Structure 1
Amino acid sequence: MERFSEIKILDTKFHKLTVNDLINYIVASGKIEQKRTIANVNVRGINFAYELPWYRDFINNADLVFCDGFGVSLGAKILGYQIEPAHRMTCPDYIETLALACEQQNVSLFLLAGKPGVTDKAISKLLEIAPNLRIEGHHGYFEKSGAEEEAVIEKINKFKPDVLYIGFGMPLQERWIQDNFHKIDTRVFLPLGACLDFYTESVYRGPRWLTDNGFEWLTRLIVEPNRLWKRYVVGNPLFFYRVFKQRITQAILVKR
């Protein structure tokens, strides 16, 4: 399996790779009898990792971590890393390419995310472009403990997916993977947040001229201000404050 160069921001890692690298890694991992975790980081994820040691350990122990946020790539540049726009990717842009690759390599996919109906809609859309894809799913609005959770895990294990996509949002999805890692019969754990909401247009993502230039967060803030104001109005400046603080510390150490 190819190794990718590692970037660290605030003691949290991610790898320097492209969308094609990511898809090839997912599909190759789906064909190996070994459990792997593929994580991602954005500004919110780095903030969680800074404040929650278990979350930082989850990211740093993952087999592959990709950049899913313009802010993180900008933070990496501030810290002196060489990183290009191609090293940042968002799931709605590549999920169909991933589905096609899974279909071609006979890698099965289970979608565990979204409100009731969202996953079904996503499966229908993916089967239109990859009709031979082995795919099942279940919504993400179930009790994360007890009998309801056990029934969902039983459904997953009956299907035995090569790749399990989990979209509960950070940090719930990562905690759920950590708690159920040994119970679930899959080869790849792939937490991807609200990807299906955007892919099925259940949630408005914003115009391409914004999303392609790092301002997807602005559309989300306008659409859901009450729920997301703290994430972006507080979280974004806090992230960059911490990054600049790290940059200054690095400069001081170099002078010594």
Structure 2
Amino acid sequence: MNLAWEQPWYRDFLNKSELVFCDGFGVLLGANLFGHGLKSEHRMTFADFIEDWILACERQNISVFLLAGKPGITDKAIAKFKAIAPNLQIQGHHGYFDKSGAENDAVIAKINNFKPGILFVGFGMPIQERWILDNLEQVETGVFVPMGACLDFYTDTVARGPRWMTDRGLEWLARLYFEPRRLWQRYILGNPLFLYRVLKQGIFNRQPSYD
């Protein structure tokens, strides 16, 4: 939400997407402050339902391409997916490549050769969204799905935090503990900034109009 506030192109990306998931307790809080009445069950965290999605793809014969993570992560994820969905059509490539030029073209050629029904892209925000926009017309797939660090969590490469924290709005604290150098700005500075913006918008919307 802070990115959407600060970067118009990212805000447009969210607003023009066909489907946007509520994956954070901060979004739930902000929505409720504006009277939308969302509950915790409305929160859909990718890491919690990725296996259900994969099983649905197998049942409906929808192919999947994973473009995410450090080298080796997609291989681990594919092995886990094939263990529960042996008939799934799936390929992958790591996310550590030059996002322009010849290397990018080679990755796109690999995706297009497979022609996946769904392309999962996990570079982290907002790099993954920028890549999707920049390559939207070149990539042959039915659906683009930004997935963030989902595969890192799914393959146990990065610790996510215990369930009692993730279910109570404290996942950010666990992630900050495990990756303080990378995430301190997002949470230490970003959380209060997000709350301030929500409260400011709420106060502004409640002010009477004198027109």
TM normalised by structure 2 equals: 0.98
Work out the CA distance in 1 between the residues paired with 2:31 and 2:121: 27
Number of residue-to-residue matches in the alignment: 211
TM-superposed CA distance for 1:255, in Å, is 9.2
Matches within 5 A, 1:33-72: 46-72=1-27
CA–CA separation in structure 2 for the residues paired with 1:228 and 1:102: 33
| Correspondence for 2:177 | 222
SS where residue 164 of structure 1 aligns?
A: strand
The Cα of 1:253 is off from its aligned counterpart by 3.4
Deviations 1:85-112 (A, max 9, x none): 1211111111111010000000111000
Residue 125 (structure 1) aligns with: 80
- Map 1:83-102 → 2, pairs under 5 A: 83-102=38-57
Name which structure has the greater RCO, CA cutoff 8 Å, separation 6+: 1
The CA distance in 2 between the partners of 1:197 and 1:218, in whole Å, is 17
Alignment of 1:121-160 (within 5 A): 121-160=76-115
Is there any run of 5+ residues in structure 1 with no aligned partner, and where? 1-45
State how far apart, in whole Å, the 1-side matches of 2:168 and 2:47 are: 15
Q: Which residue of 2 aligns with 1:193?
A: 148
Please provide the CA RMSD for this pair.
1.1
String of CA shifts for 1:143-177, please: whole Å, max 9, x gaps.
10111111100000000000000000000000000
Change (3 A) 1:251 1:127: same
Normalising by structure 1, we get a TM-score of: 0.81
Consecutive unaligned residues of structure 2, counting only runs of 5 or more, are none
Hey, which bits of structure 1, 4+ residues long, moved more than 2 A? Answer: 253-256
Report deviation, 1:254: 7.0
**AA of the residue aligned to 1:208:** R
**Structure 2 residue matching 1:115: 3-state secondary structure:** coil
Measure how far apart 1:113 and its partner are: 0.2
Q: Which residue of 2 aligns with 1:38?
A: none
Q: Distance in 1 between matches of 2:27 and 2:56?
A: 27
Q: In structure 1, what is the Cα distance between the partners aligned to 2:156 and 2:81?
A: 14
In 1, Cα distance between equivalents of 2:201 and 2:64: 40
Aligned AA (1:195): C
Identity of aligned residues (%): 64
Q: Distance in 2 between matches of 1:212 and 1:253?
A: 38
Change (3 A) 1:137 1:80: same
The alignment status of 1:251 with 2:206, answered yes or no, reads yes
Report the counterpart of residue 170 of structure 1 in structure 2.
125
